[in-house]
Amino acid sequence: MMSQCFIMQTATEDILLKVTNVCALCYGDIHVGDTIHYDTQRYHYVCQSCQEEQCAKLDAECEIVEDEEGGLFC
């Protein structure tokens, strides 16, 4: 799923040396050649599966839509 909230890239050695070699959400390893996504709202890289999960939670303005049911204090 594509989204204006993420920039899709291929992980290069240069990116991984300068930024990170783990997903910012699940902390899974990212390897050279993996498809990664830069989150333009939170300024970090995420893996393909975390990007897909996040896209399902975002509205058109890249804001996370909270589920109104449940929660810590509900």
* Enclosing H/E stretch for 44: strand 44-47
Mean pLDDT value across residues 9-20: 91
- Would you call 49 helix, strand, or coil by DSSP? helix
The residue type found at 52 is E
The tens digit of pLDDT for each residue in 32-56 reads: 999 999 999 899 999 999 999 998 8
Q: Is 36 buried (19+), middle (13-18) or exposed (0-12) by CB count in 10 A?
A: buried
The tens digit of pLDDT for each residue in 24-35 reads: 999 999 999 999
The whole-model pTM stands at 0.77
64 — pLDDT class (breaks 50, 70, 90): confident
Residue 24 phi/psi, 5° resolution?
-70, -15
| Res. 71: pLDDT tops 70 | no
Q: Tell me the C-alpha distance between 52 and 56, whole Å.
A: 7
